[in-house]
């Protein structure tokens, strides 16, 4: 009998762990749908420009506090991007990359002179702020992709603006290491207004869309107490926000740039940048819940806090979330 009780307790503990892990796992569409895998796919980035008479193509997506870049260049050697140079190369936030024996190298560097040098940030007392990097080499073309925060806090990095113009320099070389350039150039690119993101969800269905591309939710949105609840990651992550689940306190934390939302399952208030406000002043029953092992949050409240417009069609039971808010 004692042994059976112990086994039952172990099973219950395992189930709790499994549920917690499932809640913490990323679900749904990732921010901006950029996969840093060394391959720039059609439509993967929001913007692109061709430089150097077709030698160098730069693609980029800027969402929330994140920036992704893809470089495709006609070389079997290195490629480089410099952000916000002052005079020639001086003061440029440099990223160098190449592919050797199938392995990509991506360096975070800073140019200290008009014609260089450009040592690694870490050798200047800074930090390595490339969050992810990958590359490939095929048919004489080298591709390097990387991601970073728009604003890293490192004095040897330049901020990537959320919109407007940004000065860049570019170069390519013939070796799989930092060496004299073979071609170079400069340009001013329009980072662009925030890319339009339209998310749709149907009450009672796990089928949704992101900019007309089908996505499958792992839990269907529901209406409870007159308010729509859905898995929060499907709203937050496409908008460049990160979602963290803390099982011990049953807390969801949503972060994007200078916005932090902290919601607790069963609680009718939310902490926004340190201050507590009601989720729905008209109804204290509107709270985050856990349904079928997924944390479901009030869709309208979260979306509006992230700068979205929300509409609902009662005939089709479709919720539409549009970013940025018109």
Burial of 252 (0-12, 13-18, 19+ CB in 10 A): buried
Per-residue confidence (pLDDT) for residue 268, from 0 to 100: 94
CATH code, domain with 230: 3.30.457.10
Note whether 145 and 39 are same-domain residues: yes
Evaluate whether 229 touches 289 at the Cβ level (below 8 Å).
yes
Note whether 286 and 311 are same-domain residues: yes
Neighbours of 207 (CB within 10 A): 12
Note whether 183 and 86 are same-domain residues: yes
Note whether 172 and 266 are same-domain residues: no
Per-residue confidence (pLDDT) for residue 194, from 0 to 100: 66
- Establish if 15 belongs to a structural domain: no
pTM of the model: 0.56
- Establish if 233 belongs to a structural domain: yes
Note whether 81 and 158 are same-domain residues: yes
CATH code, domain with 148: 2.60.40.1210
Note whether 93 and 236 are same-domain residues: no
- Establish if 299 belongs to a structural domain: yes
Per-residue confidence (pLDDT) for residue 291, from 0 to 100: 87
Note whether 111 and 38 are same-domain residues: yes
Note whether 213 and 275 are same-domain residues: yes
Task: Quote the domain boundaries for residue 314.
Answer: 196-323
Phi, psi of 108 (to 5 degrees): -100, 110
- Establish if 14 belongs to a structural domain: no
- Establish if 19 belongs to a structural domain: no
Per-residue confidence (pLDDT) for residue 45, from 0 to 100: 87
- Establish if 12 belongs to a structural domain: no
Instruction: Quote the Cα angle for 43-187-83, to 5°.
Output: 80
CA distances (Å), origin 163, targets 47, 62, 141, 205? 12, 8, 29, 35
Note whether 157 and 225 are same-domain residues: no
Listed residues 190, 209, 238: the one ending a domain: 190
Listed residues 190, 224, 243: the one ending a domain: 190
Note whether 155 and 272 are same-domain residues: no
Per-residue confidence (pLDDT) for residue 19, from 0 to 100: 33
Evaluate whether 139 touches 132 at the Cβ level (below 8 Å).
no
Query: Which element (helix H / strand E) includes 23?
Result: helix 2-24
Phi, psi of 65 (to 5 degrees): -100, 15
Note whether 133 and 282 are same-domain residues: no
Listed residues 173, 190, 207: the one ending a domain: 190
Evaluate whether 191 touches 164 at the Cβ level (below 8 Å).
yes
Q: What is the mean pLDDT of each run of 10 residues along the chain (326 residues)?
A: 44 36 33 79 84 93 92 97 96 97 97 95 97 96 97 96 94 94 95 82 94 90 92 86 92 88 95 94 92 88 92 95 85
CA distance linking residue 173 with residue 75, whole number of Å: 7
Per-residue confidence (pLDDT) for residue 70, from 0 to 100: 96
- Establish if 249 belongs to a structural domain: yes
Note whether 64 and 88 are same-domain residues: yes
How many domains are there within the chain?
2
CA distance linking residue 12 with residue 35, whole number of Å: 37
């Amino acid at each position: 009998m004692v042994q059976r009780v112990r086994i039952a307790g172990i099973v219950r503990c395992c189930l709790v762990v499994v549920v917690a892990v499932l809640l913490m796992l990323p679900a749904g569409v990732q921010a901006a749908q950029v996969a840093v895998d060394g391959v720039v796919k059609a439509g993967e980035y929001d913007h692109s420009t061709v430089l150097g008479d077709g030698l160098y193509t730069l693609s980029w997506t800027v969402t929330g506090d994140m920036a992704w870049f893809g470089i495709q260049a006609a070389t079997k050697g290195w490629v480089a991007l410099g952000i916000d140079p002052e005079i020639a190369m001086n003061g440029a936030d440099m990223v160098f990359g190449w592919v050797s024996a199938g392995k990509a190298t991506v360096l975070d560097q800073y140019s200290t002179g008009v014609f260089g040098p450009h040592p690694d940030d870490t050798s200047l007392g800074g930090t390595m702020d490339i969050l992810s990097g990958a590359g490939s080499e095929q048919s004489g073309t080298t591709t390097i992709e990387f991601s970073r925060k728009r604003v890293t806090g490192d004095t040897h990095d330049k901020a990537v603006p959320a919109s407007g113009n940004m000065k860049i320099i570019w170069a390519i070389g013939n070796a799989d290491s930092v060496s004299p350039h073979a071609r170079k150039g400069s340009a001013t690119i329009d980072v662009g207004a925030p890319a339009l993101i339209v998310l749709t969800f149907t009450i009672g269905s796990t089928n949704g869309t992101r900019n007309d591309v089908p996505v499958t939710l792992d839990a269907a949105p529901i209406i409870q107490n007159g308010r729509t609840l859905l898995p929060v990651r499907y709203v937050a992550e496409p908008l460049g926000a990160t979602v963290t689940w803390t099982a011990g306190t049953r807390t969801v934390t949503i972060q994007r740039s200078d916005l932090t939302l902290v919601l607790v399952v069963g609680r009718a208030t939310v902490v926004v940048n340190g201050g507590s406000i009601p989720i729905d002043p008209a109804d204290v029953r509107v709270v985050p819940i856990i349904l079928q092992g997924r944390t479901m949050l009030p869709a309208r409240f979260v979306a509006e806090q992230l700068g979205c417009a929300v509409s609902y069609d009662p005939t089709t039971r479709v919720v539409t979330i549009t970013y940025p808010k018109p």
